[in-house]
Amino acid sequence: MQRRCLAVHAVLLIAAIALPLAASQPWPLCGRNANYTAGSTYETNLQDLALTLRAKASSSPTLFASGTNGTAPNAVYGLLLCRGDVSSSDCFDCGSRVAQDDGQACNRAKDSALVYNQCYARFSDKADFLTSTYNTPEFQTTYLISGTNISSTDVAGYNRAVTEILNATVRHAVENSTRLFATGLRRGNDSGFRDIYSMAQCVPEMSSTLCRTCLDGLVGQWWNTFPRNGEGARIAGDRCHLRSELALFYTGDPMVLLQDVAPVNAEETVYQITNLPVDTTDDFESVKSTLLSLALLRLATDNFHESNKLGGGFGAVYKGILSGQEVAVKRMAKGSNQGLEELKNELVLVAKLHHKNLVRLVGFCLEEGERLLVYEYMPNKSLDTFLFDTEQRSRLDWSTRFRIIEGVARGLQYLHQDSQKKIVHRDMKASNILLDADMNPKIGDFGLARLFAQDQTREVTSRIAGTFGYMSPEYVMCGQYSTKSDVFSFGILVIEIVTGRRRNSGPYLSEQNDEDILCSVWRHWEERTTVKMIDHSLGRNYPEVEVVKCINIGLLCVQQNPVDRPTMADVMVLLNSDTTCSLPAPAPRPIYLIDGISGYSQTISQWSWR
């Protein structure tokens, strides 16, 4: 079988070198096992199926159709996949050619594939190809677009550029397209490189995981199949397609755009890095692969245009498009020592963290006095924009709120226990919980985070930083912080999610009754009237036992003494426990009082730690 596949590929390559892509279509691939006769039931079934696929594919948003017609031994299986950028009418026309050409092009072979510039069709008397992960080798084309090589003084660089745009296009097709289709463009430069156009596509009925497997396989085949420095090539099969050319072959704007910008000036970069704190410089080797140029980020954000501004704390955050993907670019305030400290922590810590409930760092830039961090873009922004907005709050039904609570708990457990380093976030609050398109939570903003040794229980600082209302009393009054400080902040967050009320509002007083929201919840807990604190916007559409359980967990987390608070691992167990099980009762209401500045007014100098 392998020898046969190689023979088929060799014939195709010879033909492709002799005939450029503009030559007459189709390019047929014909099986040798069996043929059907003219006028037979099989031929009728095949023709009917071809017309059906033409109609379905051209009218489908995915420009794809598959199906079967007839019964054994005359059953015919087929698919038609039009290139994802063509119009419905062009797809219909290409499907019409399939119906006309199949019998003649392959001498009525039962197994056949017809490849056109705008579509791919496959027919067989067996259904295996419809569920395979990879292209069927005998029916995968490997065409050179041209038999000539481009002139470039940097062949290796050109090949890297082709591989780069192919990988970026594959990634976009798999991660950002429900149709599993993407086009790409890598801009050339003045070093002899020209613009490189690309396309990646899978049949839309595949899962994104299988699509990636198939396309990654084609990228791996690319340089083993085609000569280096070639002008273009195409691999097309019954599951996935990959294509690269120096001439534009698709319609519309590219979905992925890579700019071949001048490299970052090495001396300037070293200067910027040596002006970072020493321990940041030591860790730079572990993150330098994510270094991005300022020119690229200016292009991505339209030169940091005001219309792309999303907000920000120690600097502004801008929305941008980088390699076809939406990103958030955090721009630290120039000349700010605090901004430098923020970048140090986020750069060194976040680059090492990988968890679905933590915002992913894409890259960073240190040029011309700029300090920029690039994150994945969260389309639903932050939790506070929904939770504390009377109109938006209705989007937070109870199942969404519980999923957010659970996701944040899972992310904190990773930081405290499961990551390579123990990390205390120190600024857990609703505005630092970002929401993706499906309202799944991701913890962001690690500017105040601190590394802990695995056996370290606490740290002391003279610089209190964070957000009053979320900070634990031992941190506010004594500068002592630990993982239990994050647990306290998480407890406040849970109470806010359940009640829909913000603790951090002026003097920490709820608008309804001039009583701090934390005090209100404690009072209702003691009076066994906790349900009165549940957000009224939920109506009665929630499981009362589960909601009360979350209030119970929130109060356990905000207990006065750190030793009494659960760990985040404990919290995960409690969240996933049977709602009929009794949870531990929190200790009596804390003795600290509330004031309008720090949130606490009683000085307590001794705390218990675990």
| Contact status, residue 4 vs residue 138, Cβ threshold 8 Å | yes
Please provide the DSSP assignment of 273-302 as one string: HHTS-HHHHHHGGGTGGGB--HHHHHHHTT
Beta-bridged to residue 141, according to DSSP, are 236
| Contact status, residue 437 vs residue 379, Cβ threshold 8 Å | yes
Locate tokens 């319609």: which residue? 251
Helix (H, G, I), strand (E, B) or coil at 434: strand
Position 560, amino acid: Q
* 60, burial (CB in 10 Å: exposed 0-12, middle 13-18, buried 19+): middle
The CA distance from 195 to 188, in Å, is 5
* Token representation of residue 70: 């007839």
Q: Is the dihedral of CA 133, 255, 165, 18 positive or negative?
A: positive
Return the CA Rg of the chain: 30
Helix (H, G, I), strand (E, B) or coil at 374: strand
| Contact status, residue 465 vs residue 448, Cβ threshold 8 Å | yes
| Contact status, residue 310 vs residue 318, Cβ threshold 8 Å | yes
The CA distance from 205 to 100, in Å, is 26
| Contact status, residue 183 vs residue 256, Cβ threshold 8 Å | yes
The residues annotated with a catalytic role in the active site are 427
Locate tokens 């704190």: which residue? 277
Q: Which helix (H) or strand (E) holds 279?
A: helix 278-283
| Contact status, residue 439 vs residue 431, Cβ threshold 8 Å | no
